[in-house]
Amino acid sequence: MIKIAPSILAADLINIKEEVQLVDNNGAEYIHIDVMDGHYVPNITFGPNIVKSLRGVTKKVLDVHLMISPVINYIDSFIKAGSDIISFHPEADKDSNEIIKKIKSNNCKAGIAIHPNIQVKDIIQYVGDVDLVVVMTVIPGFGGQEFMKSEVNKILELCEIKKEKKLNFEIEIDGGINDKTAKICKENGADVLVAGSYIFSNNKDNYKTLIDSLR
Ligand code: DX5
Ligand code: ZN
């Protein structure tokens, strides 16, 4: 069954505890935390302190998406804060193998995120070592953007690689997910769907309906 990962980027931050507990109680499997540094992407969001705070309010999987450069210097603090999965963009630092090793040696899951400008062939060397591959269907940096259909073929490509190489990584789709684009992703083999503005910018009474509508 497909997993849903609400992105707190679109949540009402003054009520973040309530927001996260609401999506938790309404069935979300992962809580997606978008970390942006104003350097790898032109926006600044959260650091490890948010992960630490959320660790205290939910037992769900804290799915941390690093959009930062460099990456390696920050891994320890995100692990210490209580991350369950840490994904990063390989082009944002020098040694992706070292980053993956560092994440996994601390009992955390590692993920590779694919920017729309990066091709599957450019990250294929890492797929055997990671737990998650994030297909970005928007240019990283902001919530509320339109889903890029051009990226859907990467989902299919990753599914084929998984089958061929008998691998177990999950395929997560991030950006522009709503009930219609979710359908396209599921048909092409997605395992996890990130959704920010589709879930959070609506009436709080609707969270269950909205989460269910993505399955
Ligand atoms: C974009 C982030 C996404 C974003 C998704 O850089 O990685 O996770 O929060 O937001 P929506 O669902 O609004 O496109
Ligand atoms: Zn994200």
pLDDT, tens digit (0-9, with 9 covering 90-100), for 190-202: 999 999 999 997 7
Task: Please enumerate in sequence order all residues whose Cβ is within 8 A of that of 100, keeping only pairs 6 or more positions apart, or say none.
Answer: 110, 112, 126, 129, 130
Q: Using CA atoms, how far apart are residues 122 and 80, in angstroms rounded to an integer?
A: 30
Q: Is 33 exposed, middle or buried (0-12, 13-18, 19+ CB in 10 A)?
A: buried
| Reported pTM | 0.98
Protein residues placing their CB within 5 Å of the ion ligand 2:
34, 65, 174
User: For ligand 1, atom 10, which residue shows the shortest CA distance?
Assistant: 143
Residue 197 has a pLDDT of 97
Ligand 1 geometric centre to CA of 185 (Å): 15
d(CA 141, CA 76): 23
Q: For ligand 1, which residues put their CB under 6 angstroms from it?
A: 7, 9-10, 32, 34, 65, 67, 138, 140-141, 143-145, 174-177, 194-198
pLDDT at 201: 78
* Strand intervals (E) in the chain: 3-6, 30-36, 61-67, 85-88, 109-114, 132-136, 170-174, 192-195
What does the pLDDT read at residue 67? 99
Distance CA 6, CA 127 (A): 24
The DSSP-derived string for 121-162 is HHHGGGTTT-SEEEEESS-TT-SSPPP-GGGHHHHHHHHHHH
pLDDT per residue, tens digit, the chain (215 aa), is 999 999 999 999 999 999 999 999 999 999 999 999 999 999 999 999 999 999 999 999 999 999 999 999 999 999 999 999 999 999 999 999 999 999 999 999 999 999 999 999 999 999 999 999 999 999 999 999 999 999 999 999 999 999 999 999 999 999 999 999 999 999 999 999 999 999 997 788 899 999 999 99
pLDDT confidence of residue 141: 98
